[in-house]
Amino acid sequence: MLSAAAQNPRLLLQRGGRKFNLQKCRRRRHFHHSLQAVSSFFPQSETISSPSSSSEILTIRKSLLSRERKAVEIAQNYLNRLRSTEPQIRSFLHISQNVMSEAEQIDRKIERNEELGPLAGVLIGVKDNICTVDMPSTGGSRILENYRPTFDATAVRKLRECGAIIVGKTNMDEFGMGSTTENSGFQVTANPWNAERVPGGSSGGSAAAVSARQCVASLGSDTGGSVRQPAAFCGVVGMKPTYGRVSRYGLMAYASSLDVIGCFGSSVADAAILLEAIAGHDRFDATSSKREVPEFSSQLEPAEFLDSKPLKGLRVGVISETLGDGVDSGIVSSIQAAASHLEELGCTVKEVNVPSFSLGLPAYYILASCESSSNLSRYDGIRYGNQIAAEELSSLYGACRANGFGSEVKMRILMGTYALSAGYYDAYYKCAQQVRTLVQKNLKASLTENDVLISPAAPSPAYRMGEKKNDPLAMYAGDIMTVNVNLAGIPALVVPCGFSEVGPSGLPIGLQIIGAAFDEAKLFKVGHVFERTLQRCRFVPPLVDKDV
């Protein structure tokens, strides 16, 4: 079968016997009870946990409930690390001034023996295209510089209701258009593993912040891979949920039929807890699903309770088109090693063909550009955007957009406008929609025969800064592993699976696990078992390794 990589760390399977079951709590108000029950199964550790600990969120909760730590102490530890690493990483565009006061409120609740929310004391970063009422939300664009929304996005509101502390707004490619975070209108974020490398994009700031342990977890958005590719580059876990699982209300629209809000965490358990908190129907978003949200976190077993074949009977398909020409040899070796490890865990692994896979990339960029051309028309200096003095309305529009938008955004707007214009609509947009239908059918067929599909999250490790900036086609090609998932509207999870040979300590490589629509629970289970049984892999960048 598939051979393991020579440079990949040895994959060992931890063995155990006992399993556990948790009482099901279906209502959101019982979410904290579920977490409290789950936390008893995980070992307690320091505030900033080691990779051997399954969930930093549960560790924080347990330390607060036992009164071994105070929320202000935990918050101060993260803020100290943020301040010491931020000059080099530049993950954040804005830091909240309310972190310590919110932490003090949590400590007062504990003193009064009041009930704590399930995310109490957990510092979470929010991508800058997700609206927050008390902080600027610029979408990484100068056209919205200093814009402060009058409301929280639904996902942010749900986090606050669960007791989370929003630590700040993370850097991103302007309006989500880019794969390196170099297209931000404000600053360039560095990869915590190597400051000369990019963190990926467009949610590079959110991924880098979690990787550098500047916050516990973070929110990003994923239109064509903007959560999964940065997660792979930065060595963290990234979840892109099913389209409609999480409300898009308050998410600045790039391509409305593709956009989703996703989660970053340093473990699968943290990503599962975060998604469970923000998922669910929202009356403000007609595209949000009314499906019941499973208790993702309660289905994750600690490594010591796993039996020798915890994934026995699971059918795994390796997408053969993702391991061919153009894919870095170290990436191929790591994915083959991951497939072998899944076999050790009891999975039946085979290669599968997805014939339309290579067609997804051009179809995605046509559709996304067309939708962005429509969505970004609202930034005209009157409805939204900084106004420029002009004598005529057309001059006002032109000056506002010329000064406010970056080059990548302008190019994609022009591409989309051209594809939608008379005489080209059928040749481009209509054809791309037909390809999208084909991609959906092919992936659905593959997921009927297999429980999950796996592939690399990106065809190479993190790029050098500037390597792709002046070659947009090369940058677009880097999204080939992820865009099909968005076209199909299905979920995908990225977990670190090994290292490349680039640099003194190597760069992280991410394994993408793809599932059927609304089957996030299965992805979390597979990813959690894979993560917990992957030994001798410490996915903490050297920048902060000495502190965690």
Helices 407-420, 360-375: axis angle to 10 degrees equals 100
Q: Are 274 and 156 in contact (CB under 8 A)?
A: no
Active-site amino acid positions: 127, 202, 226
Q: Are 211 and 193 in contact (CB under 8 A)?
A: yes
Torsion sign (Cα): 52, 58, 60, 62: negative
For 225, 460, 468, the CA distances from 471, given in Å and listed in that order, are 19, 16, 5
Q: Residue 71 corresponds to which tokens in the numbers above? A: 């929320």
Phi–psi pair at 124, nearest 5 degrees: -125, 130
Q: Are 364 and 339 in contact (CB under 8 A)?
A: no
Helices 431-449, 360-375: axis angle to 10 degrees equals 130
DSSP character string of 277-345: HHBS--TT-TTS--SPPP-TGGGPPPGGG--S-TTTT-EEEEEGGGGSTTS-HHHHHHHHHHHHHHHHT
Q: Residue 359 corresponds to which tokens in the numbers above? A: 């067609």
How confident is the prediction along the chain (548 residues), in pLDDT tens digits per residue?
Answer: 333 333 343 333 333 333 323 233 334 445 555 555 454 444 333 333 333 347 999 999 999 999 999 999 999 999 999 999 999 999 999 999 999 999 999 999 999 999 999 999 999 999 999 999 999 999 999 999 989 999 999 999 999 999 999 999 999 999 999 999 999 999 999 999 999 999 999 999 999 999 999 999 999 999 999 999 999 999 999 999 999 999 999 999 999 999 999 999 999 999 999 999 999 999 999 999 999 999 998 889 877 778 889 999 999 999 999 999 899 999 999 999 999 999 999 999 999 999 999 999 999 999 999 999 999 999 999 989 888 888 888 889 899 999 999 999 999 999 999 999 998 999 999 999 999 999 999 999 999 999 999 999 999 999 999 998 888 888 899 999 999 999 999 999 999 999 997 655 689 999 999 999 999 999 999 999 999 998 777 899 988 877 77
What is the CB neighbour count within 10 angstroms for residue 336? 18
∠ CA 297-58-69 to the nearest 5 degrees? 170
The tens digit of pLDDT for each residue in 491-522 reads 999 999 999 976 556 899 999 999 999 999 99
The tens digit of pLDDT for each residue in 370-394 reads 999 999 999 999 989 888 888 888 8
How far apart (Å, rounded) are the C-alpha atoms in residues 494 and 508? 12
